[in-house]
Amino acid sequence: MEKIIFFGLVIPILGFVLYLGATAIMKGFSAKNANKTENNDENEEIEVSSSDKNKLSDEIEKLNKLLNDGILTQEEFEKAKKKIFHHLDLPEYLLFSQFYF
């Protein structure tokens, strides 16, 4: 009789503990997969960002060449530079930095 009561209590409790463990493990796997997806998205954003930097560098170099050749004035150069920065949604502090090539 005591064995029946013992196993009647232990087996459901053991089953419940196993259920909790399995659900926790499954939540961990799903969180890990979600994190991998986020990291992949961030890597794509970084690649886009580096291509924007290359575009920015190319545009600034072209503008600087025009400035050095006397085709653009310093004022026109600054306006064009601001337009490029605003188009790429870059931080405001970069707008007023000097570029030397």
Q: How many domains does the chain have?
A: 1
Distances (CA, A) of 6 to 14, 17, 18, 19, 31: 12, 16, 18, 20, 38
Residue 19 lies in a domain: yes
pLDDT tens track for 19-76? 999 999 999 888 888 877 776 665 555 454 556 667 777 888 888 898 899 888 888 8
Judged against a pLDDT cut of 50, whether residue 77 lies above it is answered with yes
The reply to whether 87 falls in a domain is yes
Distance between CA atoms of residues 72 and 94, nearest Å: 21
Q: With respect to residue 38, please indicate whether it lies within any of the assigned structural domains.
A: yes
> What is the span of the domain harbouring residue 88?
2-96
Instruction: Please state the pTM of the whole predicted model.
Output: 0.39
Q: Is residue 82 in a domain?
A: yes
Q: Is residue 75 part of a domain?
A: yes
pLDDT > 70? residue 13:
yes
In a domain, 101, yes or no: no
Assess contact for 85 and 95: CB atoms under 8 A.
Answer: yes
- Whether 68 is covered by a domain: the verdict is yes
Confidence label for 5 from pLDDT (cuts 50, 70 and 90): confident
Q: Measured between alpha carbons, how far is 74 from 21 in angstroms, rounded to an integer? A: 68
Among 1-10, 52-61, 76-85, which stretch is predicted with the lowest mean pLDDT? 52-61
Q: Residue 52 falls within a domain, yes or no? A: yes
